[in-house]
Chains A and B, each alone.
Chain A
Amino acid sequence: QQQVRQSPQSLTVWEGGTTVLTCSYEDSTFNYFPWYQQFPGEGPALLISILSVSDKKEDGRFTTFFNKREKKLSLHIIDSQPGDSATYFCAASAWGTQVVGQLTFGRGTRLQVYA
């Protein structure tokens, strides 16, 4: 049973375009949602995160939106750059009740940005 679903599986955009990645979850106890970025041959690295008390968080060109009612979240990348080409994972945890760092990951979206 996949508790965190990501789409699309892969995505190609042109430089300067806007990238939108989506994620949905099933467990109502999830309240913390990080997005991790992974380059080939490296481990994932935290990109941006949001708690369920918020509906939007912005960090430079990256913005994550959260919809508690629909159990969905999204990651928007504006002015996409070739250097953004990577695999993006959304994850979820029940912060405060679950073990710290016990994240449930989606399967990832492979993003390719062409110049």
Chain B
Amino acid sequence: EAAVTQSPRSKVAVTGGKVTLSCHQTNNHDYMYWYRQDTGHGLRLIHYSYVADSTEKGDIPDGYKASRPSQENFSLILELASLSQTAVYFCASSGRDSSAETLYFGSGTRLTVL
């Protein structure tokens, strides 16, 4: 069974502060992703990575950085958190084989910026 673990599960941050969301996967997957979910909206891709030490911009990268120090770990960094970044953040992983399109999601991190 695929396993993607996110931490923390929830976080309250102050405007202008730095926030780091962490993700760890034990699926031996090459691809990892950060998606954002807002109430009443679908998920939107922020950043992704297909190999350690490399990250790529997704559809809404502004205000976010990502870091992939190893195959298992992928972090999302908000250098200067803003009110508009209040949302639930999901990390996901997928493989390189024929089932690569199946995303395995973590349980999410609920971020509130005050």
Q: Which residues of A approach B to under 8 Å, CB–CB? A: 4, 6, 9, 32, 34, 36, 41-46, 49, 89, 91, 93, 95, 99-108
In contact, B107 and A89 (Cβ under 8 angstroms):
no
A106 to B58, CA, bound (A): 17
Chain B contact residues, CB within 8 Å of chain A: 4, 31, 33, 40-45, 48, 50, 56, 58-59, 90, 92, 94, 96, 100-108
Query: A105 contacts B101, CB within 8 Å?
Result: no
CB <8 Å contact, B44 and A101:
no
Q: Does A89 lie within 8 Å of B43, measured CB to CB?
A: yes
Contacts of B33 in A (CB 8 A): 101
- A105 to B, closest residue via Cβ: B42
A-B pair count, CB < 8 Å, reads 70
In the complex, the answer to whether A44 meets B31 with C-beta atoms within 8 Å is: no
- Give 8 CB contacts A-B under 8 Å: A9-B40, A41-B107, A43-B92, A43-B105, A44-B103, A100-B100, A101-B48, A102-B48
A41: chain B residues at CB < 8 Å are: 107-108
Nearest 9 pairs of A and B residues by beta carbon: A43-B105, A105-B42, A105-B43, A101-B94, A100-B100, A107-B42, A46-B102, A43-B90, A106-B42
Min C-beta distance of A31 to chain B, whole Å: 11
In the complex, the chain B residue whose C-beta lies closest to that of A9 is B40
Contact in complex: B94, A100 (CB < 8 Å): yes
Inter-subunit contact B103/A105 (CB<8 Å): no
Q: Across the two chains, which residue of chain A brings its CB closest to B41?
A: A107
Residues of B within 8 A of A43 (CB): 4, 90, 92, 105-108
Cross-interface CB contact of A49 among B92, B101, B105, cutoff 8 Å = B101
